[in-house]
Copies of this chain bind each other. A is one copy, B any other.
Amino acid sequence: MKKNLIGNAIVGQSGGPTTAINATLAGVFRGAAESPYINKLYGMRNGIEGMLDRRIIDLFEVIDTEEKLRMLELTPAAALGSCRKKLPDPDSASDTDILVYEKIFRIFAENNIKYFFYIGGNDSMDTVSKISRFAEKCGYELCVMGVPKAIDNDLIATDHTPGYGSAAKYIATTMQEIIRDCAVYTTKAVTIVEIMGRDAGWLTAASAVGSVINGQAPDLVYLPEKAFDLEDFFASIEKAFEKHPNIVVAVSEGIRFADGRYVGEGTQSGSVDVFGHRYLAGTAKALEMAVKVRFGCKVRAVELNLPQRCAGHLFSATDIKESVAIGKEAVRVAAEEGISGEMMIFERASTEPYVCNVSHKKVCEIANMVKKVPDEFITEDGSFVTEECCKYILPLIEGEIAPQYEGGIPKYIIL
């Protein structure tokens, strides 16, 4: 792509919310505001889906003070809205498929768009890759850059994803508090905490970091990367009861038995509520019942649920700083180096002391793949994570930064 294209830029957010996705948007804003090559920065409402309906706003107009920009940095969940639209194959021969691209590029042309920034996860990188390919194909001069976000930390090629650090900090902190809460009584009890992560256990692994800080951690930690065995689980609980009466277990929502069935999936079968409906209860709930029957003690299932990905009151300062930086750098490499069709990445130079650099990589090598927790980060028996794993996570949750408060609740921006 040509360097120093002069024109307007457009930015969108896509996929599931994270607490840092707006920090990256603010970074793109800062980069665009500084760039001599970019005149206007448009924001797509609800990603590519909203852009197709021409729902775009002029961000330099809407965010007209440093205070608002700062507030955007410390606001969780996509401020521009999100979508889950999958674009068709740009090489498709179907007329309907081509129509979508024609419309997209007509809107680009109408608004003199020369830069397209898309903040998202795996699926969004697929969009970046496709728009980039279509631009080449039709000869439209456009720099297309993907900027990653994912609480799950499951994108390959990058050391970690923006948004993971804050989610991990929330989980690590909440786990410290749940452990304290569970320890106040002397009666035998098992608390099972379910953490997000269908295929990758990065978030669940974060529940264990206390083990290398203050020794306070769940007794058992199960990730989807290893097959789950119920009898081994019972044996581990029995062993843990020898140490103390209050056992805390962390499980990824996506743990499965060796035969591939999800541990939580069975809870669908045959369950009927007061209204006569069948439903799915979840992994922790399924294990709660199993432990209750086996040990006869008090058991409680806790699903951390949505707050994991939207708890803006507990940002990781490192995550926010890096998320802004990667967004800003995306603009710089596009405008100054003419990079296109790539995703921004983090490269860790060192863990102690933590040094991490921003770079970029061809998006076609990245999209649609999942980065799992490696074997050496999980203990051999699969019931905990290693010290090395915790040390990988620690710098990402470092530092506290609070949003503004008004009337006792956080003050977040609405665009």
Give me the interface of A with B, judged by CB distance under 8 Å.
13, 17, 46, 49-50, 75-78, 81-84, 169, 172-174, 176-178, 180-186, 191, 209-210, 212-214, 230, 261, 263, 265-267, 269-275, 277-279, 281, 285-286, 288-290, 292-293, 300, 302-307, 309-314, 316, 394, 397-400, 402, 405-412
A103 → chain B, closest Cβ, in Å? 18
Question: Roughly how many angstroms separate A288 CA and B365 CA in the complex, as a whole number?
Answer: 40
Q: Are A269 and B272 in contact (CB under 8 A)?
A: yes
Known: A274-B267, A289-B275, A407-B394. A302 touches B310 (CB 8 A): no
Question: What is the CB-to-nearest-CB distance from A266 to chain B, in angstroms, rounded to a whole number?
Answer: 2
Quick check: B306 and A303 within 8 Å, CB to CB? Answer: no
Is the CB–CB distance between B277 and A290 below 8 Å? yes
The reply to whether B313 and A177 contact each other, CB–CB distance below 8 Å, is yes
Contact residue among B277, B300, B406 (Cβ-Cβ distance under 8 Å from A292): B277
CA distance A275 to B402 in the complex (A): 44
Q: Which of A182, A306, A312 has the most CB of B within 10 A?
A: A306
Task: Show 6 residue pairs from A and B whose CB-CB distance is below 8 angstroms, ordered by the A residue.
Answer: A77-B180, A177-B312, A214-B407, A271-B273, A279-B281, A399-B408
Q: Given that A214-B406, A305-B302 are contacting pairs, would A279 and B288 also be in contact in the complex, using a CB cutoff of 8 Å? A: yes
Q: Which residues of B contact A84 (CB under 8 A)?
A: 185
| Given contact pairs A78-B184, A184-B81, A409-B213, A273 touches B302 in the complex (Cβ within 8 A) | no
Determine which of B265, B288, B394 lies in contact with A408 in the assembled complex, contact meaning CB atoms within 8 Å. Answer: B394
The answer to whether A209 touches B409 (Cβ under 8 A) is yes
Contact among B76, B272, B288, B412 for A270, CB-based, below 8 A? B272
Do the beta carbons of A266 and B270 come within 8 Å of each other?
A: no
Contact check, B81 vs A209: say whether CB atoms are below 8 A apart.
no
A209-B408, A277-B290 known; 17 new pairs, CB 8 Å cut-off, are A17-B181, A50-B186, A173-B410, A177-B306, A177-B311, A181-B309, A214-B407, A263-B274, A269-B272, A269-B274, A271-B281, A273-B285, A278-B289, A302-B305, A313-B314, A316-B408, A394-B407
Tell whether, in the assembled complex, residue A310 and residue B177 are in contact, meaning their CB atoms are under 8 Å apart.
yes
CB-defined contacts of A275 to chain B, threshold 8 Å: 230, 266, 286, 289-290, 293
CB distance from A254 to the nearest CB of B (A): 15
Interchain nearest-CB distance for A139 vs B (Å):
33
- Shortest Cβ distance from residue A68 to the other chain B in the assembled complex, whole angstroms: 15
| Residue in chain B with minimal CB distance to A277 | B289
Q: Which residue of B lies closest to A413 (CB)?
A: B180
Do A411 and B214 touch across chains, with their CB atoms under 8 A apart? yes
Give the distance in Å from the alpha carbon of A185 to the alpha carbon of B402 in the complex.
Answer: 26
What separation, in Å, do the CA atoms of A269 and B278 have in the docked complex? Answer: 11
- In the docked arrangement, what's the CA distance between A82 and B186, Å? 8
Asked whether, in the complex, the Cβ of B174 is within 8 Å of the Cβ of A311, the reply is yes
